[in-house]
C-alpha cells in the first residue's frame, strides 16, 4: 500500500527463452515505453495535501541520489591519482605558466584529466565537472555530517551544495577543526533557510571563527576584480563585473535609480531594458551631465559586540597538543557586521566606518539628498534600534530626561512605540521594520524591502496593533497572496520570526538576518495561528 489510499502489486516476470528474444511488434495503437512512476503511483488519486507530502519525499530521494552521486565522483577522484600525470615543464606535462596552483586547486591529489573524464561520463562541460568533483570531495572528505544529512533525506541538494561551496575553495586554508565547528553551527538550521540566506549564514559563521583568514581572502578576491562578456545567444550577451560588494551595490543602485526615473517619465520599455540602457550610457557617455543627480540610502549595521572589543583567545599562546588548534586560532567566535546583507569581519566593519568618516567631513553623515541609518544589533534579540546620525547626536546631548546630569543607565534609545490606535505606521516604524527585514519576508523571496509593503500580520481591522511586533515587509505579490488567497496562514513572533503555512499544511519560517538561531529554535517550527486578512488598503 502506498500513501494516498491505493494498493500496488509487484509482479516479476522472468523470460525462460535464450537471449536475444524476438522483437515482437506491439499491437496497433499501443505505445511501448518504460514504466513511469506516475503509472505505478497515480497522481490524480492523491489529495492536494498528499501531493505536497509526496513532493517533499521526492526531494528526499533526490538528496539521497545526490549523496550517492557525490560518493561515486569522490571515488573516481581518489582512484585518479596525480602520480600518473607528467610533471609540469617536462615533455607531455603542463606548461609552468599553466601549472596547477596548490593554493587554488581542491583536486590536487587527482589527475589533471579527471574533470575531462568526468565531463564525458556525465555529458557536461569540463567546468561543470570540475565544480561537481570539488563539491563531491568536499562533502565526503571534509563535511561528513552534511553528506550524511543529504544521504538520509534531512537536507536537499541545493543546500548541501551551498554549504560545500562555501566551506570548500573559499575555506581551503582553514583548519578542519574550524570547518567542523561551522558545519555543526549551520547544519541544524540549514533546512529552514533559503539558499541565499544559508550562504550568508555559512559565511557569517566562518568569519566569526576565522576573521584574519577571511580578511586575507577578501583582499585576494579584490585583486581578482575584472569585467567580462559572456554571450547568451540571440544577439545578447552578459556584461559581468566582479568587484567589491559595496561598489557593486552602489553601481546597481545608481543604474536602477536612473531607470526608474525614465519609467516615471513614461518610458514604456521594461525596467530591466531601461537599466541596461542606462548602464551603457553611463559607461560610454561619461561626459553627459544632463541626468539629475542620484543619491543613496545607506544603512550601517553595527553589532554591539563589534563596537566594544575584538574577540580574545580563550587560551594563552603556547604549545598545543597534536590534532589541537594553535592557541591563537582557538578564539571565541567574534561579532560580524554586514554591508548589503554580506557578512564581514569586525575589522572590515571598522575599516568601512573609517572610510565613510574620511569621505564625509565632520564624520559619518548622510549622502547628499540621501539617508543614513545606523542600525544597532544584538545577536540574542536581533535588531535593537534604528537611528539617524542627527537623532543619535541629539540623544547623546540630551541624555536621560529623568536624571540630570545623566549618570544613570536608563535607555535613551529604543524601538519606536506604537502610535496608539492609528492604522498607518510612523516613519520610525517604517524605518525599523524595513531595516530589520531588508527584504520580503515570504520564505525564499528576495525582493528588496525598499519596494515592499509594510503589512499588519494580524489585520488592523481584527485588532492587530500598529506595532513593530505585528509589522513585516511583504512584496506586493506576497502581500496580495496573504490578503486574498484562501487557506494561507501567517504568524509573527515577538522576535521577528515569521511563520507561513500553505493550504496544503506545509509550514516554513523566516528569521531576520540579524537574529541568530537559539538552541531552542533549532529544528522546530513556530506554531502559526490563523489570521484574517486585512481589508483594503491592506
pLDDT tens across 344-387, in order? 666 666 666 666 666 555 666 666 667 778 787 776 677 888 88
Query: Range of 396's domain?
Result: 298-308+335-414
Structure confidence at residue 175 (pLDDT) = 85
CB-based contacts of 414-423 (< 8 A; 24+ apart in sequence): 414/385, 415/383, 415/384, 415/385, 415/468, 416/468, 418/465, 418/466, 418/467, 419/466, 421/466, 422/466, 423/460, 423/466
What pLDDT score was predicted for residue 366? Answer: 66
Q: What pLDDT, on a 0 to 100 scale, did the predictor assign at position 143?
A: 94
Which residue blocks in 242-376 are alpha helix, DSSP H?
Answer: 245-264, 271-284, 304-308, 346-359
- Shared-domain flag, residues 454 and 514: yes
Instruction: Please write down the HEC assignment for all residues of 234-273.
Output: CCEEEEEEECCHHHHHHHHHHHHHHHHHHHHCCCCCCHHH
Q: Which residues pair with 374 in a beta bridge?
A: 300, 387
Looking at the structure, tell me whether residues 136 and 74 fall in a common domain.
yes
**Residue 389 contacts by C-beta under 8 Å, 6 or more apart in sequence?**
363, 364, 365, 366, 372, 374
Residue position matching grid coordinates 600518473: 84
For the chain, how many structural domains are there in total?
A: 4
The pTM (predicted TM-score) of the whole model is: 0.71
- Ramachandran class of 440: left when φ > 0, alpha when ψ lies in -120 to 50, beta otherwise: beta
Task: Give the chain's radius of gyration (CA, Å).
Answer: 28
What mean pLDDT, rounded, does the chain reach? 78
If asked whether residues 263 and 342 sit together in one domain, one would say no
Residues 143 and 259 in one domain: no
* Cα–Cα distance, 401 to 367 (Å, whole number): 31
Same domain, 133 and 268: no
Confidence at residue 266, expressed as pLDDT on a 0 to 100 scale: 92
Same domain for 154 and 117?
Answer: yes
Q: How many CB atoms lie within 10 A of CB 228?
A: 10
Contacts of 150 (CB under 8 A, 6+ apart): 63, 64, 66, 67, 70, 139, 156, 157, 160
Task: Quote the pLDDT of residue 357.
Answer: 64
Asked whether residue 54 is domain-assigned, the answer is yes
| Residue 74 shares a structural domain with residue 193 | yes
Query: Residue 328 corresponds to which cell in the numbers above?
Result: 591563537
Which pLDDT belongs to residue 314? 41
Which residues partner with 491 through β-bridges?
499
Residue 275 and residue 409 in one domain:
no
Query: Is residue 25 a part of any domain in this protein?
Result: no
Residues in the chain: 538
Are the C-beta atoms of residues 377 and 302 closer than 8 Å to each other?
Answer: yes
Residue 231, SS3 per DSSP: strand
pLDDT in tens, 124-141: 888 888 889 999 999 999
CATH number at residue 470: 1.10.30
Looking at residue 311, what is its pLDDT? Answer: 47
Whether residues 63 and 84 fall in one domain: yes
Confidence (pLDDT) at 522:
40
In a domain, 216, yes or no: yes
Which one, of 353, 366, 340, 358, lies nearest residue 307 by Cα?
Answer: 353
Query: One digit per residue, pLDDT tens: the chain, 538 residues?
Result: 455 555 566 677 766 666 666 677 878 888 888 888 888 888 888 899 999 999 999 999 999 999 999 999 999 888 886 666 656 666 655 555 544 454 555 566 777 778 888 888 889 888 888 889 999 999 999 999 999 999 999 999 999 999 999 998 777 778 889 999 999 999 998 988 888 889 988 988 888 888 777 777 778 778 888 999 988 888 899 999 988 887 888 888 889 989 999 998 999 999 999 999 999 999 998 888 888 877 667 777 777 666 655 444 444 444 445 445 554 454 556 666 666 666 666 666 666 666 666 655 566 666 666 777 878 777 667 788 888 777 777 777 777 777 665 566 677 777 888 988 889 999 999 989 998 888 899 988 878 887 789 999 999 988 899 999 999 999 888 999 998 888 999 999 888 889 999 988 889 888 887 665 544 444 333 333 333 334 433 3
Determine, yes or no, domain membership for 537: no
Same domain for 410 and 304: yes
106 shares a domain with 73 = yes
Same domain flag for 475 and 489: yes
Amino acid at each position: 500500500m502506498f500513501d494516498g489510499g491505493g494498493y500496488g502489486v509487484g509482479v516479476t516476470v522472468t523470460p525462460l527463452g535464450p537471449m536475444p528474444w524476438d522483437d515482437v511488434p506491439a499491437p496497433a495503437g499501443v505505445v511501448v515505453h518504460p514504466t513511469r512512476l506516475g503509472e505505478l503511483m497515480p497522481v490524480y488519486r492523491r489529495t492536494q495535501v498528499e501531493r505536497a507530502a509526496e513532493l517533499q519525499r521526492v526531494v528526499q530521494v533526490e538528496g539521497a541520489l545526490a549523496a550517492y552521486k557525490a560518493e561515486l565522483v569522490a571515488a573516481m577522484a581518489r582512484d585518479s591519482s596525480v602520480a600518473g600525470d607528467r610533471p609540469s615543464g617536462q615533455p607531455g606535462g603542463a606548461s609552468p605558466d599553466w601549472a596547477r596552483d596548490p593554493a587554488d586547486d581542491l583536486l590536487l591529489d587527482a589527475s589533471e584529466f579527471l574533470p575531462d573524464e568526468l565531463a564525458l561520463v556525465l555529458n557536461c562541460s569540463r567546468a561543470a565537472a570540475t565544480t561537481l568533483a570539488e563539491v563531491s570531495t568536499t562533502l565526503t572528505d571534509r563535511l561528513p555530517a552534511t553528506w550524511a544529512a543529504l544521504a538520509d533525506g534531512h537536507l536537499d541538494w541545493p543546500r548541501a551544495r551551498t554549504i560545500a561551496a562555501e566551506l570548500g575553495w573559499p575555506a581551503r586554508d582553514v583548519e578542519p577543526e574550524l570547518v567542523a565547528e561551522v558545519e555543526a553551527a549551520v547544519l541544524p538550521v540549514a533546512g529552514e533557510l533559503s539558499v541565499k540566506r544559508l550562504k550568508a549564514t555559512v559565511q557569517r559563521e566562518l568569519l566569526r571563527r576565522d576573521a584574519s583568514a577571511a580578511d586575507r581572502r577578501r583582499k585576494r578576491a579584490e585583486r581578482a576584480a575584472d569585467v567580462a562578456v559572456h554571450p547568451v545567444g540571440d544577439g545578447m550577451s552578459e556584461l559581468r563585473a566582479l568587484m567589491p560588494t559595496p561598489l557593486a551595490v552602489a553601481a546597481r543602485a545608481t543604474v536602477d535609480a536612473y531607470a526608474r526615473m525614465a519609467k516615471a517619465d513614461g518610458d514604456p520599455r521594461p525596467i530591466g531594458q531601461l537599466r541596461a540602457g542606462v548602464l551603457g550610457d553611463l559607461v560610454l557617455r561619461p561626459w553627459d551631465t544632463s541626468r539629475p543627480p542620484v543619491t543613496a540610502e545607506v544603512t550601517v549595521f553595527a553589532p554591539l559586540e563589534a563596537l566594544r572589543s575584538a574577540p580574545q583567545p580563550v587560551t594563552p599562546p603556547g604549545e598545543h597538543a597534536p590534532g589541537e588548534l594553535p592557541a591563537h586560532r582557538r578564539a571565541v567566535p567574534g561579532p560580524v557586521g554586514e554591508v548589503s546583507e554580506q557578512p564581514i569581519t569586525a575589522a572590515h566593519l571598522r575599516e568601512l566606518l573609517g572610510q565613510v568618516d574620511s569621505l564625509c567631513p565632520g564624520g559619518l553623515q548622510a549622502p547628499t539628498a540621501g539617508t543614513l541609518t545606523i542600525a544597532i544589533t544584538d545577536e540574542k534579540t536581533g535588531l535593537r534600534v534604528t537611528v539617524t546620525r542627527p537623532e543619535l547626536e541629539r540623544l547623546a546631548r540630551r541624555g536621560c530626561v529623568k536624571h540630570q546630569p545623566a549618570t544613570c543607565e536608563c535607555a535613551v534609545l529604543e524601538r519606536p512605540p506604537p502610535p496608539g490606535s492609528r492604522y498607518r505606521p510612523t516613519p520610525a516604524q517604517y524605518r525599523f521594520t524595513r531595516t530589520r527585514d531588508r527584504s520580503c519576508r515570504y520564505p525564499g523571496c528576495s525582493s528588496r524591502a525598499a519596494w515592499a509593503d509594510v503589512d499588519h500580520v494580524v489585520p488592523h481591522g481584527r485588532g492587530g496593533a500598529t506595532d513593530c511586533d505585528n509589522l513585516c515587509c511583504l512584496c506586493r505579490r506576497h502581500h496580495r497572496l496573504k490578503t486574498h488567497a484562501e487557506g494561507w496562514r501567517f504568524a509573527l513572533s515577538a522576535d521577528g520570526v515569521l511563520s507561513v503555512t500553505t493550504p496544503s499544511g506545509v509550514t516554513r519560517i523566516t528569521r531576520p538576518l540579524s537574529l541568530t538561531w537559539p538552541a531552542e529554535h533549532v529544528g522546530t517550527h513556530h506554531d502559526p495561528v490563523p489570521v484574517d486578512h486585512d481589508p483594503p488598503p491592506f
